[in-house]
Amino acid sequence: MPLNSDKRDYYFDKRENVKGSIATEHYHSEFELYYMKDGNCNYFIEDRSYDVASGDIILIPAGTIHRTNYGSKPHSRHLINFTEDFISADILSATLELGCIYSNKKLLSYIDSVFAMIEAEYLKNDALSIHALKTHTEQLLLALIRNENDKINENGGDSIVGKTVRYIQENYMNDVKLSDVSRLMNVSAEHLSRIFKKDTGFGFNEYLTLYRLKTAENMLVNELDKRVGEIAYSCGFNDSNYFSYKFKIRYGISPKEARNGVGKSRKNG
């Protein structure tokens, strides 16, 4: 549940012993910190995938597409989202330099204790809770910054999948087709489709559409001089009605409502 605050600067969620296969994809305008308390999953972030194990922390900047893929074994995790101006600029900057995955087994007891304070304060939710949450979150980030990151367990961005993701990000405004990209990568379309899904959790067209919608959402909010139809075409949608249809499925509101600041959905991994 979001904190009872008009700004909704902070969100905390805890899941324990969750069973079954879960795969969620999303991006949002807040920073995300994910702590795998117990279990394993694969985390796809921007153009790389990471094998996450017990004790690992995932750090995701605002606006970054990411997806969690869980196996059938139970897992427990904590997650917090906060706006990037919620914490001090110096701490945020140093946190971003850590990379996407962080692990230091020596810190686990301290990390657990800080998350316990965050949970208690989040549930307390009185007039001073937002200030306490800021303090506890900065305590947690400072501990990560000041202690060596022992582990970077990533599946490289120089792979065919990483190159494909970057191609989509650089050419989303054009007519991007799996068959054309597979020729550029010197593999069959079937092979590229299969390994793309395996490594990212996304289908090729699914990721392409999501990236286009993400770009369009940003333009709707920040480029007010452009009409909705103009934004649709500039993001690779050849039909503005189809764009509006896909946008509403994704966000639950129309592009015009998004431009006017109506509603905001959140999906968490």
Burial call 153-191: b when 16+ CB within 10 Å, e when fewer: ebeeeebbbbebbebbeeebeeebebeebbeebebebee
Residues 193 and 222 occupy one common structural domain? yes
- How do residues 50-70 score in pLDDT, each as one tens digit? 889 999 999 999 989 898 888
What pLDDT does 22 receive?
57
- How do residues 93-146 score in pLDDT, each as one tens digit? 999 999 999 999 999 999 999 999 999 999 999 999 999 999 999 999 999 999
Residue 1 pLDDT grade (very low, low, confident, very high; cuts 50, 70, 90): very low
The answer to whether position 1 is within a domain reads no
Once rounded to an integer, what is the mean pLDDT over residues 67-96?
Answer: 92
- Enter the tokens of residue 101: 């995955």
Q: Which of 135, 154, 173 is the last residue of a domain?
A: 154
Does residue 4 surpass a pLDDT of 60? no
- Enter the tokens of residue 162: 């990483």
User: Around Cβ 53, how many Cβ atoms within 10 Å?
Assistant: 15
Residue 265 pLDDT grade (very low, low, confident, very high; cuts 50, 70, 90): very low
List 32's β-bridge partners, or say none.
Answer: 60, 81
Nearest alpha carbon to residue 263 among 255, 253, 106: 253
What pLDDT does 204 receive?
95
What pLDDT does 267 receive?
45
Tell me how many helices (H) and strands (E) the chain has: 10, 10
Residues 30 and 55 occupy one common structural domain? yes
Residues 150 and 166 occupy one common structural domain? no
The answer to whether position 122 is within a domain reads yes
- How do residues 8-56 score in pLDDT, each as one tens digit? 689 999 999 987 655 666 778 899 999 999 999 888 888 788 889 999 9
What pLDDT does 169 receive?
93
What pLDDT does 154 receive?
59
What pLDDT does 122 receive?
96
Does residue 73 surpass a pLDDT of 90? no
The answer to whether position 63 is within a domain reads yes
- Enter the tokens of residue 173: 């405004």
The answer to whether position 266 is within a domain reads no
The answer to whether position 265 is within a domain reads no
Q: Where residue 214 sits, what CATH number does that domain have?
A: 1.10.10.60
Q: pTM (2 decimals)?
A: 0.77
Residues 79 and 14 occupy one common structural domain? yes
Q: Mean pLDDT score of the chain, rounded to an integer?
A: 88
154 vs 79, more confident: 79
What pLDDT does 25 receive?
64
Domain that holds residue 252: 160-259
Residues 149 and 204 occupy one common structural domain? no
Residues 69 and 193 occupy one common structural domain? no
The answer to whether position 193 is within a domain reads yes
- How do residues 210-247 score in pLDDT, each as one tens digit? 999 999 998 998 999 999 999 999 999 999 999 999 99
What pLDDT does 24 receive?
66
The answer to whether position 199 is within a domain reads yes
Residues 149 and 213 occupy one common structural domain? no
- Enter the tokens of residue 240: 């503005």
User: Around Cβ 96, how many Cβ atoms within 10 Å?
Assistant: 13
What pLDDT does 228 receive?
94
Domain count, the chain: 2
Q: What sign results for the dihedral spanned by CA atoms 241, 244, 246, 249?
A: negative
